[in-house]
Structure 1
Amino acid sequence: MARITKGILGGFSGKVGTIVGANWRGQDIIRSIPKPSNRPPSEKQQLQQEKFKTVIAFLQPLKSIQTKYFGSGSGSKSRVNMAVSYTISEAIQMTGDVPELMYNKVLITKGDLTGFQNVAAVPQTGNIIRLSWENNSTQGNASETDQVNVICYCEELDRFEIFESVGIRTDLTKDVTFPAVYMGKEIQVWSYLHNEKGTVACNSVHVGAVILI
């Protein structure tokens, strides 16, 4: 891959002969067209492809969140790519030949905001999960108005429920209610905070798995 500096031709987009031009992260680049390979993938390559597919499928519904709140977004990788790389390297385990997510190691967001203190999730009658935490709004760069967000995933239904800005850091407790289809299902729960301006978030925390009642 090569970078095009501004000159008489400037940048271009599309295929010309054996090269492709594009604008990537604000820079005009050119690269050669990859040659197709008839060689079957190795066992290691197949394993990596399976991990990649598993992670991409899981994270896809979270793309809009991770675009804003996963890492700094600087350098050659986008925030979404950083989330994928992290999940593949840190939150996948193999069960036989099958890659599986370790939910307690999954990060939904990654950032420098002061996170929760002693957050917990408890099911309540009526398909409700009640989150509670302690007030740490005087610690680090925390603020009383930091926004509370709850991310829930049901593996059985392969479905996310996303509750954004449901409260603030000083509320200390918040209920989220699920559709009836979740009754009796196990739910993986994460929560994170972002500042009122929506410019920085904390590392999300896996609060645990609860069964709705």
Structure 2
Amino acid sequence: MARITKGILGGFSGKVGTIVGANWRGQDIIRSTPKPSSRPPSEKQQLQQNKFKLVISFLQPLNSIQKRYFGSGSGSKSRVNMAVSYTLNEALQVVGDLPQLVYNKVLITRGDLAGFQNVTATAQAAQAIVLNWEDNFVQGNANATDKVNAVCYCEELGTFEVFESLGDRSFLTAAFTLPTYYSGKAVQVWAYFNNTAETLACNSPYLGTLTVL
């Protein structure tokens, strides 16, 4: 059943016969109801479906970050859509007909804030990871009070751990602790800065694969 949202001359949402009405980014649109295909997908179609499924499942836990800090969010694409598009086009490889993520090309955030200078991540005892970077808060649009954040992904567990507001850019170091069940696991690590207004972030550098101690 369809619902008229703005009176008899307004748009509608729902299905009427063979068309579907919806509101997308503030505009009322209609489209035809997709017809199910009885044909099995071709190898190329199946590969594209597998790529999309991999990227969507990987990025879904990062939605709240990427809604704020991936690109400008202007135009016809949302920030989340831009993150999906970037990852599909720039951070995948195909090995034996199976898509795989290329972690050193993955971006958690993408923006115009000045990034890190010579940042490193080091695993320490008791599931701790320490970040260190050099002073650059007088460069460009950097600010001493920009907040540092870290993101870890464990492929074996299929889980993310996000650590926000670990400290300020001017601290030159930050540390966080993973849950105990990560001990002995390999994790991929990224970091990013955001400004105090939470309107801008830097491109997130990939800090490598660490084995949690």
What is the TM-score normalised by the length of structure 2? Answer: 0.94
For the residue of structure 2 that corresponds to 1:117, the secondary structure is coil
Find the counterpart in structure 1 of residue 115 from structure 2: 115
CA distance in 2 between partners of 1:28 and 1:13 (Å): 9
Query: Tell me, which stretches of 5 or more residues in structure 1 are unaligned?
Result: 1-5
CA distance in 1 between partners of 2:32 and 2:154 (Å): 43
For the residue of structure 2 that corresponds to 1:99, the secondary structure is strand
CA distance in 2 between partners of 1:138 and 1:87 (Å): 31
Find the counterpart in structure 2 of residue 60 from structure 1: 60
Residue 13 of structure 1: how far off its partner (Å)? 1.0
Find the counterpart in structure 1 of residue 73 from structure 2: 73
* Aligned 1:1-213 pairs, distance under 5 A: 9-213=9-213
For the residue of structure 2 that corresponds to 1:165, the secondary structure is strand
CA distance in 2 between partners of 1:76 and 1:18 (Å): 26
Deviates more, 1:178-187 or 1:108-117: 178-187
For the residue of structure 2 that corresponds to 1:187, the secondary structure is strand
CA distance in 2 between partners of 1:14 and 1:157 (Å): 39
CA distance in 1 between partners of 2:45 and 2:36 (Å): 16
For the residue of structure 2 that corresponds to 1:110, the secondary structure is coil
CA deviations on 1:64-96 (whole Å, 9 max, x unpaired) are 101111111111111111111111111111110
- Code of the residue aligned with 2:56 in structure 1: it is I
- Code of the residue aligned with 1:180 in structure 2: it is T
CA distance in 2 between partners of 1:62 and 1:175 (Å): 21
CA distance in 2 between partners of 1:22 and 1:54 (Å): 27
For the residue of structure 1 that corresponds to 2:118, the secondary structure is strand
- Code of the residue aligned with 2:168 in structure 1: it is I
CA distance in 2 between partners of 1:182 and 1:7 (Å): 55
For the residue of structure 1 that corresponds to 2:40, the secondary structure is coil
Query: Tell me, which stretches of 5 or more residues in structure 2 are unaligned?
Result: 1-5
What is the TM-score normalised by the length of structure 1? Answer: 0.94
Residue 18 of structure 1: how far off its partner (Å)? 1.8
CA deviations on 1:121-180 (whole Å, 9 max, x unpaired) are 011111110000011111111111111010001111111110011111001001111111
Q: How many residues align?
A: 208
